Structure 1
Amino acid sequence: MVGHDIGGMVAFAYARRHPREVARLALVELALPGFGLEGAMNAATGGSFHFGLFMTPEVPELLLDGTEPAFLTWWFNRLAHVTAAFPPEEIAAITASYTGREALRAGFGHCRTLLQDGRVNRAWAEIGAHLPMPVLAVGGEHNVGTRLAEALRPIAPHLSAAVIKDSGHFVPDERPEELARDLISFLD
């Protein structure tokens, strides 16, 4: 099972709940609820502002409704180290999915569960649970780096780590060949 960002949070939760169904788990570019995300959320200590904004009911929808193209262009360019990773036509296609208050509300919905997800994940670890399968933690050099691997080390005894050189958050888009190489090696 492979998951990137929010998909990595889902993949982790699935592997945690159904370990016999996951032979190998690869998590790419995320901070995991309960294992480092809370620090990444704290803007007062250098974390990213967007978590608090996106978690607030109704406010981001009010602020961004009608400005989705400008916001998403800024967003993808801010998080990608390789600016060519998201050409304008891709940003336009993504924007089409997030246009209007209801689409924005649905898009921000996952952020509104992150603190509860963290409590659940920490409670699981506090009873001495761990991920029994091999786990690969992948970070982009210019974003997560080794932080995901460091956070997983206490709960993933069969952990490997990879840092993708010259990549930001969007590793699959910025450095697809390098990510594929690491995933194929790990999943083989």
Structure 2
Amino acid sequence: LAQLGIHGGVRVVGHDIGGMVAFAYARRHPEEVEHLVLVELALPGFGLEQAMDVASGGLFHFGLFMTEKLPELLIEGRESDFLTWWFDWLSAVPGTFPPEEVDTIASSYRGYEALRAGFAHYRTLLDDGRVNRAWHETGGTLPMPVLAVGGEHSTGARLADSLNTAAPHLTGAVITGSGHFVPEERPDAFARELLPFLSAPPRAAGRI
């Protein structure tokens, strides 16, 4: 933003791990962020650790992806096959990602080193959780309006519920009929939540 000559007033929208990055940016630079939108994730330090606990019904893939070397060895050479399964598993709308789109995405992850770079972020999540919790436990809150969006068949209202004490100006939304990939599965319903929130004046956008 500094390189582009943009100073403050930005609207940040992040999905899944992009939401973790968006949250970290807003936490560290609150004066820069006018509106923050988090879509379909469990935040480190705010529910992710519970979502990773398979003994309590959490999702298995976090443990796999956080294991050094193993997911790269299992997936290398099968990137398109893995992502086809992955997108189908997490989607509630069949056919959201056609084969040509899956292949395009897979090309970014093809090969051991590209996979390693992708999985490396998962290997920082527990550290991220400790940093986020320490920030909140010492009084940190997000001063900007925050919209927390979940898919009906995925995160639902859990993201918004987890942010109640960290985001005083919080709006929660659940997108009916959607799985994890809200922008792709239900783009019109997502836009109906997103656009009015982003266009509202900063002081009026958040509702408790």
TM-score between the two structures when normalised by the length of structure 1: 0.98
**How many angstroms apart in 2 are the aligned matches of 1:176 and 1:109?**
30
Shift of 1:115: 0.3
Structure 1 letter corresponding to 2:195 = I
Shift of 1:98: 1.2
Structure 1 letter corresponding to 2:60 = F
Match of 1:113 in 2: 124
Match of 2:44 in 1: 33
Q: Does 1:77 align with 2:88?
A: yes
Shift of 1:121: 0.1
**How many angstroms apart in 1 are the aligned matches of 2:13 and 2:197?**
11
Of 155, 175, 179, the residue aligned with 1:168 is 179
Match of 1:63 in 2: 74
Shift of 1:3: 0.6
Shift of 1:117: 0.3
**How many angstroms apart in 2 are the aligned matches of 1:92 and 1:69?**
6
TM-score between the two structures when normalised by the length of structure 2: 0.89
Match of 2:136 in 1: 125
Gaps of 5+ in 1: none
Gaps of 5+ in 2: 1-11, 200-208
Of 135, 140, 149, the residue aligned with 2:151 is 140
Shift of 1:27: 0.4
Match of 1:19 in 2: 30
Q: Secondary structure at the match of 2:31?
A: helix
**How many angstroms apart in 2 are the aligned matches of 1:40 and 1:13?**
19
Q: Does 1:151 align with 2:159?
A: no
Q: Which string of whole-angstrom CA distances, capped at 9 and with x for unpartnered residues, describes residues 34-80 of structure 1?
A: 00000111111111111010011111111111221211110000001
Q: Which region of structure 1 is more displaced relative to structure 2, 157-166 or 65-74? A: 65-74
Q: Secondary structure at the match of 1:12?
A: helix
Structure 2 letter corresponding to 1:162 = A
**How many angstroms apart in 1 are the aligned matches of 2:116 and 2:31?**
34
**How many angstroms apart in 1 are the aligned matches of 2:107 and 2:94?**
20
Post-superposition, which runs of at least 4 consecutive aligned residues in structure 1 deviate over 3 A? none
Q: Count residues with an aligned counterpart.
A: 188
Bigger relative contact order, structure 1 or 2 (CA pairs below 8 A, ≥6 apart):
1
Q: CA RMSD in A?
A: 0.7
- Matches for 1:174-185 after TM superposition, within 5 Å: 174-185=185-196
Q: Percent identity, please.
A: 69
In proportion to residue count, which structure has more helix? 1
**How many angstroms apart in 2 are the aligned matches of 1:139 and 1:35?**
15
**How many angstroms apart in 2 are the aligned matches of 1:35 and 1:138?**
15
Structure 2 letter corresponding to 1:88 = P
